[in-house]
Structure 1
Amino acid sequence: MSKETAARIAVRDALIQLVELNRLFREAIESDHGLPIWTMETESESTNQRALAAGIATRLTYIEEQNKQETARLTGLVGVSEQTLQLGEELNLCRDQFKTAMADFRKLFGDSIEAIEQASDDLRDGLLGGLQVKHLHFVQCYRQLKLFPEPPRRVGFSWAASHSGTVRLTAEEAIVHFRKKYIASVAVNEDIGLLEKMPAKEVVVIKRILAPHLRANITWPKDIQALRQADPVLKKQYPAQINSPLPLFIQLKPGEPLPEFNRIRPYDPSARQERLQRSDARLVKINDNPHSRIYRYA
């Protein structure tokens, strides 16, 4: 079997499994109707919050009115059963497997913009067309669900309204970061080419524009808090802060309430506070491509 055939089969099999696990998880969320739920902007009694949360969390494709640069979002807290949480963990693993299969598939075509377009055409008109699946939203396919087997003591939602996020790396580290975190494009390839010509230990900054986004600031019960402080693995399992474009799925027993939380409202740009000048105001671009993400300090 050729590498090309093997890569296509891996994508096909991973996508079939992803669609099936998505369906099972969506149905499981809706069947947990006896457990509590809260979602932002949908507090009306006439809204089926479970169906909405389940649909958005498992949406793999674009819908007709969706902007191509946007991802489906719905912040909230969803109580789920142990069986549903286990399905969510299987779905997260499947999403990782599909992401890996897609990365291997795209490598067959190279890194140029023409090759990227060819890979997309091959995928859309060939493999996905044969499965009668088109217009996949890859960010929605890849993103991990936030699953908590133990309920937090409190969840404090807050808006992060900064304009950009930055990461400070050496040129050598930045090359690895680009190849690991970004899909190949003309701008990314140009940035990598410039980094390869720089001294390996020269410090650069990778900067990306961020839209206002919601964060969940999580307070854990004292016993969990003590354990996570002593164990780096548990710190990841029980984080203190995460971005929350999707609901947090929390395992609850029948009759158990949601953790304490604040019912945050949609973002209001007029309520933003003026910020002090950031240190990254001294950054200058080293690539003329408008989509470039690398800077150095002036």
Structure 2
Amino acid sequence: MSQEAAARITVRESLIDLVNQNRTFREAVEADNGLPVWIMEAGENDDARSMAANAATKLTYLETQNKQETARLTGLIGVSATTMELGQQLNQCRDDFKTAIANFRKLFGDSVEAIEQASEDLRDGLLGGLQIKHLHFVQCYRQLKLFPEPPKRVGFSWAASHSGTVRLTAEEAIEHFQKKYIASVAINDDIRLLECMPKTEVVIIKRILAPHLRANITWSNDIKALRDTDAALKKHYPAQINSPLPLFIQLTPGQPLPEFNRIRPFDPTARQERLQRSDACLVKINDNPHSRIYRYA
């Protein structure tokens, strides 16, 4: 069996597993209807639990969805221990599918043209044969936020006018642009400039992020003590995470959701208070207004 045939089989099998586990988890969340739930945008007559289950397990594009956006729905969802275990299995399926897709793409190479060819082959060939042409890969890959132990408090806050940065050498930045961005005049201009720089010179790639919600999490004193003594536990008990999807929290019948603030949808006219970021001292290297490369002043 060729490498390509083996990679195709792995993608197909991991996708089938993902779809099946996805359905099982969604049904389990909906069945936990005796546990509390809160969804930021749910109206009085909405089924908030079904809204959360559907948003967290949506693998394909919505008809009205922008191709650059992911399905979003902020909230807190109480689930049973059985559903929590199913969620952990679903996260593993998502990891397996992401790895299978990455291995499949490697067969085509790393150039922009090769990446586009691999995507076309996936959508119109392999996935098209499964009647899943409009699969949203980011939604398939992203991990559910699962908390087997309830936090003490969840404080939601908006991060607005926010930019993301990555620090790379000029050589690494060229590879980053070729792999992560669709070719354009501005991107090609940045790459040409980087090619003229010493390979080891450090640059900053900056991109503007849309307003997004963060969950600031407070844990009990016992868990805080554990985090202080074992750094590995910070991954399981984070202090802050992005929260585009509901947080799933294991509860027992009669147990309430953690204390939280009922934040409202983002208001672009409201003033956003924030501390000055370290990237405020970045300066552009390229005069092109659409350039993404900077260095520290």
TM-score by length of 2: 0.89
**RMSD across aligned positions (CA):** 2.7
Q: Kindly tell me: are residues 121 and 250 of structure 1, through their superposed partners in 2, closer, same or farther at Cα, counting changes over 3 Å?
A: same
Confirm whether residue 153 of structure 1 aligns to residue 171 of structure 2: no
CA gap 1:72/1:285 in 2 versus in 1, 3 angstroms: farther
Report the more deviating stretch, 30-39 or 166-175. Answer: 166-175
In percent, how many aligned pairs have the same letter?
72
What residue in structure 1 maps to residue 131 of structure 2? 132
Distance in 2 (alpha carbons) for counterparts of 1:228 and 1:105: 38
Query: Which residue in 1 is equivalent to 2:25?
Result: 25
Q: Larger deviation: 113-122 or 230-239?
A: 113-122
Call closer, same or farther: CA 1:236–1:274 in 2, change over 3 Å: closer
Deviation digits for residues 48-68 of structure 1 (CA, Å, limit 9, x no counterpart) = 111110000000000111111
Ranges in structure 2 where 5+ consecutive residues have no aligned partner: none
Alignment partners' CA distance in 2, 1:113 and 1:289: 23
5 Å-filtered alignment, 1:149-228, equals: 149-171=148-170, 178=176, 183=180, 185-186=182-183, 198-199=197-198, 201-228=200-227
Tell me the TM-score normalized by structure 1. Answer: 0.89
Indicate conservation of the 8 Å contact 1:227/1:234, yes or no.
Answer: yes
Find the residue that maps to 1:166 and give its secondary structure: strand
Counterpart-to-counterpart distance in 1, 2:193 and 2:162: 25
Q: Distance in 2 between matches of 1:233 and 1:86?
A: 21
Match of 2:57 in 1: 58
1:230 aligned residue: 229
In structure 2, what residue type is equivalent to 1:4?
A: E
Identify the range of structure 1 (141-150 vs 104-113) with the bigger mean alpha-carbon deviation: 104-113
Instruction: Tell me how far 1:73 sits from its aligned partner.
Output: 0.3
Relative to structure 1, is the Cα distance of residues 32 and 196 closer, same or farther in structure 2, using a 3 angstrom cutoff?
farther
Separation in 2, partners of 1:33, 1:237: 26
With over 3 angstroms needed to count, the CA separation of the structure-2 counterparts of 1:183 and 1:174, relative to structure 1, is closer
Matched-pair contact (CA < 8 Å) for 1:111–1:185: no
Pairing of 1:246-261 with structure 2 (within 5 A): 246-261=245-260
Distance 1:98 1:274 in 2: 39
How far apart are 1:276 and its partner, in Å? Answer: 7.8
CA contact (8 A) 1:159 1:213 kept: yes
What residue number does 1:14 align with?
14
Provide Cα deviations, 1:160-192, integer angstroms capped at 9, x if missing partner: 00331223344466578x39xx64644789867
The aligned amino acid for 1:17 is: D
Contact residue 191 and residue 287 of structure 1 kept, 8 A: no
| Paired residues of 1:62 and 1:137 also in contact (CA < 8 A) | yes
* Post-superposition offset of 1:293: 3.9
Look up the match of 1:48.
47
